[in-house]
Structure 1
Amino acid sequence: MRLILALFAFVVLCAPAAQARDALLNIQEVTSSGGLKAWLVEDHSVPVISLQFAFKGIGTAQDAPDKQGLARMASNTMDEGAGDLDSQAFQKELRDKVIELHFNASRDNFGAELKTLSKNRARAFALMKLALTHPRFDQEAIDRMRRANQSRIRSSITDPDWNAARVLNDVAFAGHPYAQNSGGTISSLESITADDLRAFTKELSKDRLRVSVAGDISAQELSILLDELFGDLPATSSSVEDVPDLTLTNQGGVFVYPRNIPQTVINIMQPGIDQSDPDYQSAQVMNFILGSSGFGSRLTKEIREKRGLTYGIYSYFTDMDHADTLSVTTSTKNESVSEMLPLIKAEFEKMAQSPIAQKELEDAKSYLIGSLPLSLSSSDKITGLMLSIQLSDLPINYLDQREEKIKATTIDDVKRIAARLLDPSKFITVLVGQPGEIEGAQSVESLPNVE
């Protein structure tokens, strides 16, 4: 899963509303009488409320090997009936009241998103609490979601991009829970029971809770709501295991999953950088120039525009709780793979060894600073951004720091961080297709964590 987080800001408070204000958004920290906290951006111009929450450290990485897909199955079934409402009745109430409610599971976290009209907020919050604290897990709903997930896996087997991601997870995260299939395997999904799902939800505890809210609600109202929604949760989790930090495995390796298709999908991964690192924003500037800026990037200019070897090539950072990565994704004709791989390596080496141009620097800084406010076009985007910050344990003034550090980034900074990070000798390369003879390549005969 790719988590590319754009991040937010935060304030401290002793009463329901915070005393400080963020430069970009008017973000408040709200504390309930029961000690629960949330970040809030009030906006009373539109009668809509968006609420997102997550439990940090309780995600698919907690799935037992024989229960892969458990957290994802919980996210699929918690809104399929709760309390006295079966699946049809629960979903009908959501539709009738124009309420959007979805649970989600990532490698590291489990949470939900709620969006409602202000006039329906009482019922929306009641339904969300019911789904969180009293999900039914009726057998019919479990069986239906199990079949849907198994069907998705069988369909994905034919997708070369999915194949590449599946193999890359296995070889780069070997022996670690991140190597598991977050969506489950055919057999592991078959083994998941209602009791498994109930046991999972009992681990959702207040000490792991992060909440963000935006829209037509005041800090005082939210401070009361927090205890109403989450006050009945257990204080702590009883049996959540610590997930170890990960050093990427098989660095320098090339792995081929043969498929009889005309193009080869190329996925490359190497170690990345944590968002808390002082050089993170300089690394973002560097990567914008290298491969994340689309048609303006060096990878695109060199490999697509000059040589016509691909329709698209992109590089991106992914920050997870226990691993940080830098990846490149692209594809090319089978017969062009041996030409393309050295070109990617050469661009990494050039970035690490030679200074960038002043215009490249200014264009990157201008885009990275200017694009963030434009991305905050709705309450749910704002809540998602705030939640990302909380889950990354970043400070409340992160946005101010982010802009300051991007503005302060120099040509020397970019060269320094590129030399520190970019290392083709650490590439973990996965090829799906018929790439021909690639020196040192190992063949992968079957997809891992599928059946």
Structure 2
Amino acid sequence: MIRAALFALGLLAALPARAEVDIQEITTPGGITAWLVEEHSNPFVALELRFRGGTSLDSPETLGAMSLMTHTLEEGAGEMDANEFATRSEELAASFSYNVYDDVLTVSAKFLTENRDDAIEHLRESLVNPRFDQDALDRVRGQMLLIIQSDAKDPRTQASRALDKLVFGDHPYSRNGDGTLETVAALDRDNVLAAHQAGIARDRLYVSAVGDITADELSALLDRLLGDLPETGAPLPGKAELNLPGGTHVTPFATPQSVAVFAQPGIDRDHEDFFAAFILNHVLGGGGFESRLMTEVREKRGLTYGVYSYLANKDNADLWAGSVASANDRVAEAIEVIRAQWDEVRRNGITAEELEDAKTYLTGAYPLRFDGNGPIANIAVGMQMDDLPIDYIATRNDKVMAVTLEDVNRVAREYLDPDALTFVVVGQPEGLMGDTAAN
């Protein structure tokens, strides 16, 4: 019942969608910086923590350690075992979520104002004093092994993994952050403790909070919650050197439909041409049914149910990437059409109508992202990690509108690179020849 009340408050906090967000930056007496949006209309707070590093901190021998550690944080802490920790969370009507990705470990917390102090102490125990009991480690390990086995049968996952191996070489991005059957099976408690020490530290911490809390209250809360974390964690990975040789690279896989993923060099998030590239990608492959790729590959030729492209900005690499799936006897044609559109847009650009339609959509959809305390907190902490200014939300649409047709078409000529556009195909594609990507 209490959790239902918390969920209802979350929905109430989501209305109406807010296009204007007043963010204030605070620094605690203990030296923790955070971004805060005060919203006192509901007695509810969303707190977001980010630790830079993520699964990229795993060594080749301990792949999966960061994932096993992260997903065991709520499986008991302090004096509480896994069941007692879950029961206490229910009693407090507090919601905690722990996830890890290539570049970041995330912690999301939602709690009622009346239970704030107890909820923060509960969360603190999971971050500072996780138990990592052997039965919990074995249970989570078993779940991870099942996921790895399932992924081995999924052509889309295998295509993404094959592309990572080809593009990133020896960089941590080339590895499977979930680990392999062999590495995960071999992980012990010492590996998990080492991952905890490496990944959850104050030198890589980003914080945002949205809801019924003042700056002074948040300052005291954060020092209590995070003050006992290690000052420093493991060294972060360096920049990745990209291997994008062009062509098509085939990994045989028994399936009636091939999956193709593709990539070329991208553009850094803070580059002056980013917004022009952002709009260009929307027209080329990011705009759903209105995009050039969807029109040419699906609507005109019926080669796929879906095709898309996107700007992939990692901490240490930038790609312009995409994906398509098609029947084995049609995927070669789908790839040919994608290459042709890549070259067509590079040579001839987009139209003024396409630009205006893209601007209308991108500026109109943006305020809809701010539909509650949790989403706003998530956006605010992401802004910090991307080193965006605190007024970015207010100025973002102006940056989109300032892009000219000349800007977009210059970026198309300068950045779209059909020769470097590299395809990795997993399946049994007919009529495709190419190097076989590493398994």
TM-score range relative to shorter protein: over 0.9
1:304·1:311 contact (CA, 8 Å) conserved in 2?
yes
Distance 1:155 1:54 in 2: 28
Distance 1:205 1:437 in 2: 51
> Are 1:410 and 2:408 matched, yes or no?
no
**TM-score, structure 1 length as denominator?**
0.90
> Are 1:225 and 2:221 matched, yes or no?
yes
1:282·1:405 contact (CA, 8 Å) conserved in 2?
no
Number of residue pairs matched by the alignment: 421
1:81-100 aligned within 5 A = 81-100=76-95
Q: Deviation digits for residues 31-51 of structure 1, max 9, x if unmatched? A: 111121110111111221110
In structure 2, the residue corresponding to 1:373 is in which secondary structure? helix
2:330·2:430 contact (CA, 8 Å) conserved in 1?
no
Q: Gapped runs of 5+ residues in structure 1?
A: 1-21
Q: Gapped runs of 5+ residues in structure 2?
A: 1-17
1:8 alignment partner in structure 2: none
2:65·2:187 contact (CA, 8 Å) conserved in 1?
yes
1:35 alignment partner in structure 2: 31
2:356 alignment partner in structure 1: 362
2:259·2:426 contact (CA, 8 Å) conserved in 1?
yes
> Are 1:265 and 2:259 matched, yes or no?
yes
- In the TM superposition, residue 250 of structure 1 has moved relative to its aligned partner by 4.1
Distance 1:236 1:200 in 2: 13
> Are 1:437 and 2:419 matched, yes or no?
no
Distance 2:179 2:143 in 1: 12
Query: Percent of counterpart pairs with the same letter?
Result: 38
In structure 2, the residue corresponding to 1:103 is in which secondary structure? strand
User: Which residue identity does 2:424 align to in structure 1?
Assistant: V
**TM-score, structure 2 length as denominator?**
0.93
User: Which residue identity does 1:295 align to in structure 2?
Assistant: F
- In the TM superposition, residue 401 of structure 1 has moved relative to its aligned partner by 4.1
- In the TM superposition, residue 207 of structure 1 has moved relative to its aligned partner by 2.1
1:251·1:270 contact (CA, 8 Å) conserved in 2?
no
CA RMSD of aligned residues (A): 1.6
Q: Runs ≥4 in structure 1, deviation > 6 angstroms?
A: none
> Are 1:391 and 2:389 matched, yes or no?
no
- In the TM superposition, residue 310 of structure 1 has moved relative to its aligned partner by 0.8
Distance 2:115 2:202 in 1: 26
> Are 1:337 and 2:353 matched, yes or no?
no
In structure 2, the residue corresponding to 1:131 is in which secondary structure? helix
User: Which residue identity does 2:133 align to in structure 1?
Assistant: D
User: Which residue identity does 2:375 align to in structure 1?
Assistant: K
> Are 1:74 and 2:72 matched, yes or no?
no
2:102 alignment partner in structure 1: 107
- In the TM superposition, residue 113 of structure 1 has moved relative to its aligned partner by 0.7
Distance 1:102 1:191 in 2: 26
- In the TM superposition, residue 342 of structure 1 has moved relative to its aligned partner by 1.7
Distance 2:33 2:49 in 1: 11
Q: 1:64 aligns with which of 59, 62, 71?
A: 59
In structure 2, the residue corresponding to 1:425 is in which secondary structure? coil
Distance 2:425 2:91 in 1: 48
In structure 1, the residue corresponding to 2:329 is in which secondary structure? helix
1:20-419 aligned within 5 A = 24-56=20-52, 58-203=53-198, 204-237=200-233, 240-419=234-413
- In the TM superposition, residue 202 of structure 1 has moved relative to its aligned partner by 2.1
